[in-house]
Amino acid sequence: MSRDVLVLFDIDGTLLHGRPEAHTHAMVAAMAQVWGVPAVPDDIWDIDPAGRTDREIARMVLRAHGVDDRAIDQGTPEWIDLASALHESEAPLHAAPVAAADADAVTGRLADEGAEVALLTGNLQPIGRAKVGAAGLGHRFGPGGGFGSDAEVRADLVHVARRRAARAYSDTEVVVVGDTPRDVVAARTAGVRVVAVTTGAFGPDALADADAVVADLTAATHVLLA
């Protein structure tokens, strides 16, 4: 694989480890304020959120509380702004996810070797960037990337990230690095390559449709630079 590539990193379970409690609390508190539903964090944990976008998660929770799609669509812009603001106040109240031990070295090496690195995450952009910044990785990622505030369907985020990249990349020059089967499906749907890491909740069998399945980000880098 060429080193002149766009490498799109997932956040939760890939770059960061640990349960994103502040993120979850901010999302449901904003749902309660915007739509008047008694949403709680377990509403999110109960729907298998790994690999979903925040907008998809919100829609699933809100539907379960009886909110129709039209009302969800109308309230989503306000919810994005409010959840992002609430995350700032929630973050000090919860243990923050921490960076994978090799995340800084890996992203730095890829950049040194000529790759463009960016975030590809279901997180709302302000929340995702705040989490990455708090974990000490903010300096590795510029203004590009694709986020859950950009689109509800994860595969669409790949197209967003490509439009925001420093230059045009062919399909074979774009690689998603993620830890869930939904990361793999999104990359496949978008027509790009994918390297899966088993640092999250899923093992090699669940991730077998990726171009490569490896143990951690260091091993992923060996594949990307091979």
> What integer pLDDT is reported at residue 65 of this predicted model?
98
Homologous superfamily of the 6-18+97-224 domain (CATH): HAD superfamily/HAD-like (3.40.50.1000)
Residue 100 pLDDT > 70: yes
Strand 98-99 vs strand 16-17: parallel, antiparallel, or unpaired? Answer: antiparallel
Residue 138 pLDDT exceeds 80: yes
Quick check: 87 pLDDT over 80?
yes
The runs of H, that is alpha helices, within 40-195 are: 41-45, 54-64, 69-90, 103-112, 125-134, 154-164, 181-190
Q: What is the DSSP string of 192-205?
A: -EEEEETTSS--TT
Q: According to the model, what pLDDT value does residue 4 have? A: 87
Q: What is the pLDDT of residue 1?
A: 45
Tell me: pLDDT of 78 over 70.
Answer: yes
Q: What is the distance between the alpha carbons of residues 187 and 182, in angstroms, rounded to a whole number?
A: 9
In this structure, what token pair is assigned to residue 186? Answer: 């999104």
How many angstroms separate the CA atoms of 110 and 159, rounded? 21
**pLDDT cut 70: percent of the chain above it:** 99
pLDDT in tens, 33-47: 999 999 999 999 999
Determine contact, residues 58/35, Cβ cutoff 8 Å: no
* pLDDT at 3 (0 to 100): 63
Structure tokens at 106: 């890996």
Phi-psi sector, 13: left (phi>0), alpha (psi -120 to 50), beta:
left
Report the pLDDT value the prediction gives residue 226, as an integer from 0 to 100. 82
